Structure 1
Amino acid sequence: MNKTFIFLFACFHIFIKSQKTSTDRISELPPAPSYSTDRKLRDPYDGVSIHDAPKDVVGKMNLEKVVFKPDQPAEFPGGIKTLKQKIYETVDPYNLTSFSHWGTVYIIIDDKGKITDLFVQTASNNLKEEMKSALEKIKTRWKPAQRKGMRVNSLFSFPVHFNFDVE
């Protein structure tokens, strides 16, 4: 009986000891990745807040899923000077009733490079209509903005000024 008891004690001791080393090995393994956290890190719209939007456009444009501070802003092929040149060539000065017009144009460029929304901050209704018409006629696609290495919808703004001198 004593021999059986000693044998069982030895087997039980070995079984317990093997369980401890097994547990120790598991604790040495790195933690399993959390897929929900990884997905949030890759979501380019994570952390985007409407509070980052210019106050002029809040409530006047569809700002859902729009990045206001991208890592790389949207670009018009040839740059902003080329865009302004195309706008000035497209605008009909006879539709502008006064000699001087100025304002700020806000456009949303989607992740495919197309203009999806437009707002012109100006006192002149004529300038608003002319800018909308001019930008609709310009069919050139933009290079979309990027955030976290992915293409995103973004807000782009630029000033415009038309001054027609009478001699």
Structure 2
Amino acid sequence: MKKALFLFGIICSIFCFSQKNQAKNPVYTHISEIPNYAVLKTRLKLDDVAVKADQAPEFPGGMALFKRLFTEKMDNVELKNNQKLDTRIYFIVEKDGYIRNVVALGSDKKHTEAAELGLKRVFIRWKPAMIGDKKVRYLYTFPLTTKKY
């Protein structure tokens, strides 16, 4: 029962994309505005990456399906009592629609590794971002917050 409640708590809190949380995630207009930009530029090729597009990348089936698949694919990480983990996941949706570059940055190494691996396991082609009539590489970022209940 404890494991079931733990898993339920993780699933419920893994993606908090309510209107309240969306306000905390501003739309960036330039790559240098992205949180942790200095670290990211050492780990990802960001030369030709867009953070704003006429048409953002789309996951087939919508973001609700993406969130569910990601949650299912991510390994459970054992949390200590009342431990809260704040991780931010960055990934690039390439021009062909595949995700090849994933970086998770956060306070717990095991959690960031599990987040990166979970995202890589969702191997489904996205509809790429468009600026005008050209496909572009797009840097997608979202927070991943978990808390043991």
- Richer in strand (by share): 2
The unaligned stretches of length 5 or more in structure 2 are 1-28
- Higher RCO, 1 or 2 (CA under 8 Å, sep at least 6)? 2
Q: Do the aligned residues in 1 keep the contact of 2:92 with 2:137 (CA within 8 Å)? A: yes
What root-mean-square deviation, in Å, do the aligned CA atoms of Structure 1 and Structure 2 show?
2.1
The percent of aligned pairs where both chains have the same amino acid is: 25
Paired residues of 2:74 and 2:119 also in contact (CA < 8 A): no
TM-score by length of 1: 0.61
User: Distance between the aligned counterparts of 2:114 and 2:134, measured in 1?
Assistant: 33
1:103–1:160 CA contact under 8 A, matched in 2: yes
C-alpha distance after superposition, 1:45-77 (max 9, x if no partner): xxx9654x5141342321021112111111111
With structure 2 as the length reference, what TM-score do the two structures score? Answer: 0.68
Q: CA contact under 8 A between 2:79 and 2:148: conserved in structure 1? A: no
Distance 1:160 1:79 in 2: 18
User: Which residue matches 1:77?
Assistant: 60
Equivalence map 1:103-118=2 (5 Å) = 103-118=87-102
Aligned length: 116
- Runs of 4+ displaced beyond 4 Å: none
Alpha carbons of 1:157 and 1:49: their partners in 2 closer, same or farther (altered >3 Å)?
closer
- Give the unaligned 5+ runs of structure 1: 1-47
Say yes or no: does 1:57 pair with 2:41. Answer: no
